[in-house]
Structure 1
Amino acid sequence: MKVSQDQIENLYAFTIKHFVEYYDLQTELVDHLANDIEAIWRVEPELTFDQARNKSFKKFGIYGFAEIVEKRQKAMNKRYLKCLWHELKTWFTLPKVMTTLSLFALCYMIFSSSISEYAFIAAYIVTIIWTVYKIIQLNRQFRRRKQKTDKKWLLEQIIFRQASGINLIFISQLANVINYSDVLYGNQTAIAIASLSFTSCCLLLYVSLQLLPNKADELLKEAYPEFCL
């Protein structure tokens, strides 16, 4: 016996009922359940579809799909970080390294000036404003994408939502930045560390909030051959 199309739709609804919200995870679980149900029917052909489905589901243990979802989330987070690192590395190789060095030199020059304390805080606040603007923009963009399709993809969620949340950590460090700014004037080591840190943060923010969201469709097609927006 083979699982019918209507039964496939039933399996999708079954995964949603058990708190699997991402279409890619649903598809993976539906394929697994369908194959297992057909294997069960070969041994016990008298079982109904619901009975075979429930028997297959019991094999996932008391936590149901939770462990599978958790493993998949970890794997997709790892994939996202790999993409992030790949993009960041390009800013330390030719020709982009020249832009990185120019940004570092500009930071070093500003933080070495007589107004270094105020310049450091001002630069940080401007970066915070841009970060908040991008987070709001990405959330709006994510909602518009959701209006085009009722399918949710895990990697898409990470690109547009989790990345924004991670960058809020940057904003939370304002008090530490204000305290650190006091030691900048005349301290070449502190200035170099501040310039390097600020340059690295700017690159991280730009890649995670600008470059990767702009490449979202490309990244999703690489991860999910069935993806079509």
Structure 2
Amino acid sequence: MTAPAHPIRVLLADDETMIRAGVRLILRHADGIEVVAEAPDGRQAVELAAAHHPDVVLLDVRMPVCDGLAAIAPLLALDPAPRVVMLTTFGDDDNVVRALREGAAGFLLKDEGPQELISAVRAAAAGDAVLSPGVTGAVISRMLTAGEPRGAGGAADERIARLTGREREVLAMLGEGLSNQDIGTRLGIGTGTVKTHVGAILDKTGSTSRVQAALLAHRSGLAP
């Protein structure tokens, strides 16, 4: 993948020194990515994000002083707001669900490989959702069953009704987990146009992230 014109600025928040060191080492050798700050807890993550304006925050779920879940809202309230990707362990589905409902861009398992980490940072910076395949199915299923049933609920139908036909197509593909590039290829349009459609979808439906929009696609019956 071609490196972006400007490095992707990353803030890493994890209370485990070894985890931070490992992630920093991986990202240091990735083209177009720069770790601009590190924090041992959520409170410092918010303070450092306000000072360094990262594009992406890699945020551990469980930390002292202020955990990752509590840090999501103040991070997303910053201007400009970073993309927040949760670092988690397998079996932490409940916290992942809470994080996604708070507006996190996605989640990444701590035992993923170096290339998966690099790809996740680039995907988040590009506006795509970041979902570790190993737990995506369980998390999405839990989020769906916790809310309104598939295809039911006036709220979902009303939000879908605000969209144009093309926006509905894009929303259905978000529900499939496709990236902007994949959506553009399928529809025969540019990635920039896809981003415009995604932005309109988030605005019109009141979704705070692609993940929430994907869930709406499932609830409304647009996505299988």
Please classify the TM superposition score into its range, dividing by the shorter chain length.
under 0.3
Greater fraction strand:
2
Q: What TM-score, normalized by structure 1, do the two folds share?
A: 0.22
Q: What TM-score, normalized by structure 2, do the two folds share?
A: 0.23
> Does 1 or 2 have the higher relative contact order (CA < 8 Å, sep 6+)?
1
